[in-house]
Amino acid sequence: MNTSAPLANLITLGARDLPAQRNFYRALGWPQITDDGEFVAFELRGIVLALVPLARLARDGNTDPDPGTGGIRFTIGVMVDSAEEVDRLTEQMRAAGARVTKQPVDAEFFTGRSAYLCDPEGNYFEIAWADMPNNPVVMATRRAAGA
């Protein structure tokens, strides 16, 4: 019996405007690995971020698209290597068109620094640096990225 944990390192976002979303992530300089017009993917350290038209994703999941009424439902955590990197990536994403909802600050729920942003379609990211090398979540994110 295989008891290893499943590999969960592909995040697929349904895009209302696929070309605009693709251009946002390209502007960040994230390495694009494919684009066939209906599926775009970027390879990051530890995950692949994919974009598909929202209607196509809904069809594939045999459901209706979310109307996107706003607010936060999830975050994609981006773990960085220093407090300064939180600030740098926040500015890079803002320059590419992200909306910053929480400026980089000393973290409230852990020892470190964090910021919150959302891409042009409202997908939220938390950029975080945790000064907690023995924290099990920090250790697991490092292992997952091969670090």
**Contact criterion met (CB below 8 Å) for 120 and 16:** no
**pLDDT tens for each residue of 113-138:** 999 999 999 999 999 999 988 888 88
**pLDDT tens for each residue of 80-109:** 989 999 999 999 999 999 999 999 999 888
pLDDT of 144: 81
Beta strands in the chain (DSSP E): 10-15, 32-35, 40-43, 48-53, 75-79, 99-106, 112-118, 124-130
pLDDT of 3: 66
